[in-house]
């Protein structure tokens, strides 16, 4: 769809020039000679951009800008001003104008400014759509479960979401801590404000301060521009500190100051910046134990842990497994354009008995894998991954339980079976990262790679191909 632009100027030559130039660029253009006619045009037609002269009789450009901001806040506004009198145009930008252009016009400059303005409008529109989708995705109806444990969690989320109080979400990996954080944000009064996530365990310590609080140009090698930190990006909204237990002590001190005083300071700066941010933190670590070993500040803990929400492990709410499994089945049916009708009773019993060390995330991964590989219309026990079978009572046999009969046994086969099951368990515990699985088994990555090839467990991930350890 063509962008619709309204040009407002009392000089006919200016109107004609912009009309010809903008139509050549492919825009739909309307031109009027004063602010009164501009208001009439805005009432009759939807415009994406208004380009208005600053000085006009009857209704000035500033008055027209005020009218647009009050009645058509989604319309971008650009001001036309004479060369040497840009101070008023700057004031207009403070009132909400996107930019200004000066007379006499430089055609390329005008063309670029307008294209940038309309690109900004497109991005803002896309962000509104994405925000609505996020709000829809993280409504309470999207949180699946009917157990008493999960209902208690839902009730706490509902109450907490309506206040700006800091929240600490605790629980094992894979229990949905980030989903709870987003449910709190998108179901409360801050839902139209930013939700910014910082993974505290994924950012190198030497970059953490810059990521959190920003930096000034030249403050360190590589700081070629000023940079906003996550606190500034999240200003007015929610900052989600995922895996907060991984924060180094040096950053904990600065985080405490930011929370207590509601100010931050960029790296290399001398001025403080006021911020208004709600903090939601999450961790799978026991912060109380970390406090006892001086690995986590006690004062910061109490600032974060105003309200605690514990996400229950999946083994604590096994009655939710069928609901979750069918929910993920429908999700991946749709994603993979499949039509698997359901999960057989025997397969569901196996799913219900498994312990899920990776919790809901692990169950989702199991269903995604099964849907991808299932050739039929129903998920059967043999469709499930091998490791799901082992914790259902089919534990590994000890040497005392293996009988050597008169006919003997195939030692290589028995040992191979045990080795394969242990490899599968370790890979699963390491969330598919074979380098980490090798460490869990106390073997080198080269040895892990050989054994995976031997038992047909797939090759290493892309990030592991060059490892020699």
Q: What pLDDT, in 10s, does the model give residues 393-410?
A: 344 444 444 566 666 667
Write b or e for each residue in 229-241: b if 16 or more Cβ atoms lie within 10 A of its Cβ, otherwise e. Answer: bbbbebbebbbbb
The pLDDT assigned to 249 comes to: 94
Residue 244: Cβ within 10 Å count: 25
User: How far apart, in Å, are the Cα atoms of 143 and each of 93, 318, 336?
Assistant: 43, 15, 22
Does the pLDDT value for residue 294 go beyond 70? yes
Mean pLDDT on 278-304: 95
Specify the pLDDT at position 398.
47
| Banded pLDDT at 43 (limits 50, 70, 90) | very high
The DSSP code sequence of 259-289 is HHHSEE--BT-SS-EE---EEEEEESS-HHH
Cα–Cα dist 185/161, whole Å: 6
Asked if pLDDT for residue 5 goes beyond 90, the answer is: yes
Predicted confidence band of residue 334 (pLDDT cuts 50, 70, 90): very high
Q: Are 42 and 86 in contact (CB under 8 A)?
A: no
Query: Which ranges of 354-398 does DSSP label H, i.e. alpha helix?
Result: 359-373, 386-389
Q: Which of 14-18, 123-127, 403-407, 457-461 has the lowest mean pLDDT?
A: 457-461
pLDDT at site 395: 41
What integer pLDDT is reported at residue 435 of this predicted model? 86
Instruction: Concatenate the DSSP letters of all residues of 185-226 into one string.
Output: HHTSTTTTS-EEEEETTTS-HHHHHHHHH-B-TTSSTT--S-
Query: Distance between CA atoms of 131 and 126, rounded to whole angstroms?
Result: 9
Give the pLDDT of residue 99: 83
Q: Is the pLDDT of residue 117 over 90?
A: no
Q: Are 254 and 247 in contact (CB under 8 A)?
A: no
* CATH superfamily, region 411-464: Homeodomain-like (1.10.10.60)
C-alpha 192/C-alpha 127 separation (Å) is: 10
**What are the domain boundaries of the chain?**
4-130, 138-310, 315-392, 411-464
What pLDDT does residue 403 have?
61
For the segment 19-39, the average pLDDT, to the nearest whole number, is: 92
Band of residue 118 on the pLDDT scale cut at 50, 70, 90: confident
pLDDT of residue 56: 86
d(CA 29, CA 190): 37
DSSP 31: E
What pLDDT does residue 460 have?
43
Tell me the average pLDDT across 96-119: 84
Range scoring the smallest mean pLDDT among 46-55, 125-134, 145-154: 125-134
Mean pLDDT (the chain) is 84
Query: Cβ-count burial of 12 within 10 angstroms (0-12 exposed, 13-18 middle, 19+ buried)?
Result: exposed
Out of 122-131, 272-281, 283-292, 346-355, which region has the weakest mean confidence (pLDDT)? 122-131
Helix axis angle, 411-429 to 434-441, nearest 10°: 120
Evaluate whether 100 touches 81 at the Cβ level (below 8 Å).
yes
pLDDT attached to residue 393: 36
Question: Architecture of domain 4-130 in CATH?
Answer: 3-Layer(aba) Sandwich (3.40)
Return the bridge partners of 340, or none.
Answer: none
Task: Kindly report the CATH number that applies to the domain delimited by 138-310.
Answer: 3.40.50.300
Q: Which stretch of 1-10, 143-152, 208-217, 394-403 has the lowest confidence by average pLDDT?
A: 394-403
pLDDT of residue 418: 80
Q: Do domains 138-310 and 315-392 have the same CATH topology?
A: no
User: For the segment 227-241, what is each residue's pLDDT rounded down to a tens digit?
Assistant: 889 999 999 999 999
Residue predicted with more confidence, 335 or 456: 335
Residue 281: Cβ within 10 Å count: 28
- Condensed to tens digits (0 to 9), the pLDDT of residues 373-397 reads 888 899 988 888 877 876 433 444 4
Question: What pLDDT does 119 receive?
Answer: 82
Most confident of 59-68, 225-234, 303-312: 303-312
In words, the CATH class of domain 315-392 is: mainly alpha
- Highest mean pLDDT (candidates 92-101, 118-127, 174-183): 174-183
pLDDT over 70 for what percent of the chain? 87
Q: What is the pLDDT of residues 430-444, one digit of tens each?
A: 877 888 888 888 888
Residue 401 or residue 319, greater confidence: 319
Q: Which residues contact 245 (CB under 8 A, 6 or more apart)?
A: 200, 283, 284, 285, 287, 290, 296
**Which pLDDT band holds residue 461 (cuts at 50, 70, 90)?**
very low
């Amino acid at each position: 769809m063509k962008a619709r632009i309204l040009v407002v100027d009392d000089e006919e030559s200016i109107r004609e020039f912009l009309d010809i130039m903008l139509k050549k660029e492919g825009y739909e253009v309307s031109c009027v000679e004063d602010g009164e006619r501009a208001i009439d045009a805005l009432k009759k037609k939807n415009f994406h951009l208004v380009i208005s002269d600053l000085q006009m009789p009857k209704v000035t450009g500033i008055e027209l800008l005020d009218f647009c901001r009050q009645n058509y806040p989604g319309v971008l506004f650009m001001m036309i001003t004479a060369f040497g009198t840009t101070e008023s145009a700057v004031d207009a930008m403070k009132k909400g104008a996107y930019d200004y252009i000066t007379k006499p016009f430089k055609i390329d400059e005008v063309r670029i400014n307008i294209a940038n303005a309309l690109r900004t409008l497109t991005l803002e529109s896309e962000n509104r759509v994405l925000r609505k989708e996020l709000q829809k995705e993280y409504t309470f109806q999207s949180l699946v479960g009917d157990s008493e444990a999960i209902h208690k969690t839902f009730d706490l989320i509902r109450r907490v979401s309506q206040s700006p109080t800091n929240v600490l979400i605790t629980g094992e990996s894979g229990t949905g801590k980030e989903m709870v954080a987003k449910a709190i944000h998108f179901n409360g009064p801050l839902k139209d404000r930013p939700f910014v996530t910082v993974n505290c365990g994924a950012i190198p310590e030497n970059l953490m301060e810059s990521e959190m609080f920003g930096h000034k140009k030249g403050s360190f090698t590589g700081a070629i521009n000023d940079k906003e930190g996550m606190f500034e990006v999240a200003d007015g909204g929610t900052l989600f500190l995922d895996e907060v237990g991984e924060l180094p002590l040096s950053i904990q001190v600065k985080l405490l100051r930011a929370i207590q005083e509601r100010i931050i300071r960029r790296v290399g700066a001398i001025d403080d910046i006021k911020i208004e941010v709600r903090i939601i933190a999450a961790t799978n670590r026991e912060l109380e134990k970390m406090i006892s070993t001086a690995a986590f500040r006690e004062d910061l803990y109490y600032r974060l842990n105003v309200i605690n929400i514990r996400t229950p492990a999946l083994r604590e709410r096994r009655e939710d497994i069928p609901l979750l499994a069918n929910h993920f089945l429908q999700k991946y049916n749709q994603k993979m354009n499949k039509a698997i009708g359901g999960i057989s009773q025997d397969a569901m019993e196996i799913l219900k008995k498994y312990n899920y060390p990776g919790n809901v995330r692990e169950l989702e991964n199991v269903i995604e894998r099964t849907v991808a590989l299932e050739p039929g219309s129903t998920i059967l026990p043999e469709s499930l991954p091998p490791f799901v079978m082992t914790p259902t009572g089919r534990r590994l046999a000890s040497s005392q339980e293996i009988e050597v009969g008169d006919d003997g046994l195939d030692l290589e086969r028995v040992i191979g079976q045990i080795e394969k099951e242990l490899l599968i368990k370790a890979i699963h515990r390491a969330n598919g990262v074979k380098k980490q699985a090798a460490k869990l088994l106390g073997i080198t990555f080269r040895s892990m790679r050989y054994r995976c090839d031997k038992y047909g467990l797939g090759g290493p991930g892309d990030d592991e191909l060059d490892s020699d350890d």
